[in-house]
Amino acid sequence: MKNKKMIITFICILVGILAIMITKSFAMQSYYKVDFQTGLVTATNLYVRSGPGTGYKIITSVPKNTYIRVFAGVGDWYVVQVEGDFVGAVSKKYVKPIYPGANTGSNSNTGTSQNNNTGTTTSSNMNSDEKEVFDLINKQRIQNGLSPLKENSELQRVARIKAQDMVNNNYFSHTSPTYGSPFDMMKSFKISYNTAGENIAGNSSNSDAVTAWMNSPGHRANILNSSFNQTGIGVVKGSKYGKIYVQMFIGK
DSSP line for the chain: -HHHHHHHHHHHHHHHHHHHHHHHHHHTS-EE--S-SEEEE-SSEEEEESSSSTTSPEEEEEETT-EEEEEEEETTEEEEEETTTEEEEEEGGGEEEE-TT----THHHHT--B-TTT-BBSS----HHHHHHHHHHHHHHHHTT-PPPEEBHHHHHHHHHHHHHHHHHT--SSSBTTTBSHHHHHHHTT---SEEEEEEEEES-HHHHHHHHHTSHHHHHHHT-TT--EEEEEEEE-STTSEEEEEEEEE-
Mean pLDDT calculated for residue range 136-149: 95
Structure confidence at residue 36 (pLDDT): 80
| Mean of all residue pLDDT scores within the chain | 80
Mean pLDDT calculated for residue range 54-63: 89
Structure confidence at residue 17 (pLDDT): 40
Whether residue 99 has pLDDT greater than 80? no
What are residue 98's phi and psi, to 5 degrees? -110, 120
pLDDT category at 63 given cuts 50, 70, 90 is confident
Structure confidence at residue 98 (pLDDT): 80
Structure confidence at residue 24 (pLDDT): 40
- Give the integer Cα–Cα distance in Å for 167 and 157: 16
238 or 166, which is more confident?
166
Whether residue 159 has pLDDT greater than 70? yes
User: Among the listed ranges 9-23, 32-46, 60-74, 94-108, which one has the minimum average pLDDT value?
Assistant: 9-23
Structure confidence at residue 3 (pLDDT): 52
Counting residues of the chain whose pLDDT is more than 90, the rounded percentage is: 49
Segment 11-50, tens digit of pLDDT: 454 444 444 433 443 444 577 888 888 888 888 889 999 8
Mean pLDDT calculated for residue range 182-195: 92
Mean pLDDT calculated for residue range 80-92: 82
Cβ atoms within 10 Å of 186's Cβ, excluding its own: 24
